[in-house]
Amino acid sequence: PEIARLIQALPKAELHLHIEGSFEPELMFAIAKRNRITLSYDSVEALKEAYQFNNLQEFLDLYYQGMNVLQTRQDYYDLTRAYLDKVHSQNVRHVEIFWDPQGHLERGIDFATQIDGILQALKEARAQHGISYRLIMSFLRHLPEESAFETLELAKPYLDEIYGVGLDSSEMGHPPEKFQGVFAACRDLGLRITAHAGEEGPADYVWQALDLLQVDRVDHGNRSLEDDTLIERLKESQMVLTVCPLSNLKLQVVKDLNDHPIPAMLQAGLKATINSDDPAYFGGYMNENLMQLQQAVGLSADDIITLTRNSIEGSWAEEARKKELL
């Protein structure tokens, strides 16, 4: 249909993507085999059947298990390259990719091994597919702030290659205020700031991300809609929200895609964008997120254009690059 053609044809940017969450079961099994690692599932099918989650934590438990098979620079390269080839086929032209260095450091994988493999794939895809990128280092909020500080120290030789920092993992009980110090240090280093907030956590966590971390954008932000004063603040500042419809459905942030808050966000004048979060776990990349959301809530062609423009305008790409893509 026409709307599917529009979604495919529009130049798009993805702003909320965990590279470890793009780890498809087929590639996971292939890498496990060459690293002589035994997975807790004996087939791709058995693993895929396990992808049923009641909440964020149930997903995270599998996500951290899955990334355990990544060991060599080649593994990080293959993972990243597979994602970039996939979204290239969907006409995604700019990507801002999160990775979770602490999830690999705690297993003894060097910072350099991780980032070198990821960057090699990003640079090749820029040369071969014309995809521009920003790399975002994300801190795990279930760990102490001290661990984030240690990770920031390891990142210092790579600050030319790391554009921003984020905050992810288990939200409840780990409010942004826990990380005020390390984000202040990141800002002093000239890094852009984002944080997951209001996915499962309350609107108060979004306030904290804005006022205490001084984020440049908010990842998810769904529960902002529970607070009218917050809606006004987000609207007035045109704060970008990186919303992830299929993630919200699979993690039961929404009961049904029909109940998704994107129409309410657009109605309220918020700068919402559509993203895939962890596409291998949630059943869809950028275009599937747009298409399934469109089908569920009845977005117009103009809504789709607004959402994809918001991503480009709200990205951290250079201004000249944004102009090219708009």
Tell whether 18 is in a known binding site. yes
Footprint (CB under 6 A) of ligand ADE, residues 244-273? 247
For ligand ADE (CB under 6 A), the number of binding residues is 11
Judged by CB under 6 A, the residue of 21, 117, 164, 166 near ligand ADE is 21
Burial 103-117 (b: 16+ CB within 10 A, else e): bbbeeebebebbbeb
Q: Which does 169 bind (CB under 5 to 8 A by kind): ligand ADE, Zn ion, none?
A: ligand ADE
Residue in 96, 171, 199, 200 annotated catalytic:
199
Burial 244-256 (b: 16+ CB within 10 A, else e): bbbbbbbbebbee
- The rounded distance, in Å, linking the Cα atoms of 246 and 279 is 8
Q: Which does 24 bind (CB under 5 to 8 A by kind): Zn ion, ligand ADE, none?
A: none
CB 145 within 8 A of CB 197: no
Q: Which does 213 bind (CB under 5 to 8 A by kind): ligand ADE, Zn ion, none?
A: none
Footprint (CB under 6 A) of ligand ADE, residues 140-179? 168-169
CA-nearest of 170, 213, 168, 208 to 192 is: 213
Does 14 bind ligand ADE (CB under 6 A)? Our answer is no
Instruction: Give residues with Cβ within 8 angstroms of 220, minimum separation 6.
Output: 16, 196, 197, 198, 199, 241, 242, 243, 244, 248, 253
> In DSSP terms, which residues pair with 271 in a beta bridge?
240
Active site residue 313: no
Tell whether 196 is in a known binding site. yes
Across 22-63, the runs of DSSP E, i.e. the strands, are: none
Does 75 bind ligand ADE (CB under 6 A)? Our answer is no
Judged by CB under 6 A, the residue of 79, 277, 304, 310 near ligand ADE is 277
Binding site for ligand ADE (CB under 6 A): 18, 21, 56, 63, 168-169, 196, 199, 247, 277-278
Q: Which residues are catalytic?
A: 199
**Binding-site annotation, residues for substrate:** 278
